[in-house]
Amino acid sequence: MTTFVVPGAVLDVELSDEGGHPVVQLHGLTSSRRRDRVLDLDLGRGLSGTRLLRYDARGHGRSTGRAEPSDYRWQVLADDLLRLLDAWFPGEQVHGVGPSMGTATLLHAAVRDPERFDGLTLLCPSTAWVTRGPKAEAYRSDADLIEREGFAAFVEAGEGAPPPPATVGTPHTVPDVAERILPSLLRGAAMSDYPKPDALRDVTARATILAWVDDPAHPVSTAELLAELLPDAELHVAATREDVLRWPTILRDDVARHGTPHPA
């Protein structure tokens, strides 16, 4: 474990170095490396022979952050990602993988620096574009609820929604974010959206999109639009937890398509 300083935060980072192709793994909103592992979204557990960089986004998990909503806009998270890649993998093309907010961060970074990525594995794309407005309003309402009634009330309010079929059987978890930061983090997400559709047409990295059904926060419609917009993309949709448990193998195959050994 190590730390990396970015403007307004200190990121908690770990590198599993087996000497191969560089891979960076991100996580979702209010989650962390630890929480994604519990939720079966740590696809890097299926990798070997890579240099796998994992980190907690600012304000999440073991990383620090300020109570400043603009710090958590997805464009800022993309700045953090590109700084990390410059520090750990300077001048190299990297394979990026991450769910939801991690997908959004990767897309913003890939639009800004297309040559940086040679592959993307995008999990559970969130609401975007036409579906983003209602979700953004829900984030603002959640932030108000936390400030008014506290963290426990926020967690309780979210427990009534039926889980997506592909997540049935995963352990119960709560957000891995400090209560004092959580409202700002949610407001930052409400200020954010995916890159403009036309900009995604310039992302040359091969992309695999992994979605699951019956999740309003991560609608299949976003995944389908990404599959249309990205020049080289393939879509897989999961209906069961067994489908999701195959996702690490998909990432392994994605990396193997273009990964080359790193010179000793």
Share of the chain above pLDDT 70, in %: 97
- Show me where the domains of the chain are located: 2-258
Q: What is the pLDDT of residue 262?
A: 39
As beta bridge partners, residue 28 has none
Q: Which tokens is 48 given?
A: 């070997």
What is the rounded CA–CA span in Å between residue 261 and residue 50? 8
Per-residue 3-state assignment (H helix, E strand, C coil) for the chain:
CEEEEECCEEEEEEEEECCCEEEEECCCCCCCHHHHHHCCCCHHHHCCCEEEEEECCCCCCCCCCCCCHHHHCHHHHHHHHHHHHHHHCCCCCEEEEEECHHHHHHHHHHHHCHHHEEEEEEECCCCCHHHHHHHHHHHHHHHHHHHHHCHHHHHHHHCCCCCCHHHCCCCCCCCCCCCCCHHHHHHHHHCCCCCCHHHHCCCCCEEEEEEECCCCCCCHHHHHHHHHHCCCEEEEEECCHHHHHCHHHHHHHHHHHHCCCCCC
Mean pLDDT (whole number) for 34-58: 94
Q: Which two tokens stand for residue 201?
A: 């047409």
Q: What is the pLDDT of residues 97-143, one digit of tens each?
A: 999 999 999 999 999 999 999 999 999 999 999 999 999 999 999 99
pLDDT score of 258 more than 80: no
pLDDT at 46: 80
Confidence of residue 259 (pLDDT cuts 50, 70, 90): low
pLDDT at 173 over 80: yes
**59-97 confidence digits (pLDDT tens):** 999 999 999 999 999 999 999 999 999 999 999 999 999
Sorting pLDDT into bands at 50, 70 and 90, what band is 49?
very high
Residue 158: the pLDDT is 86
Q: Which CATH architecture has domain 2-258?
A: 3-Layer(aba) Sandwich (3.40)
> In this predicted model, what pLDDT tens digit does every residue of 191-244 receive, in sequence order?
999 999 999 999 999 999 999 999 999 999 999 999 999 999 999 999 999 999
Burial (CB < 10 A; 0-12, 13-18, 19+), residue 11, is buried
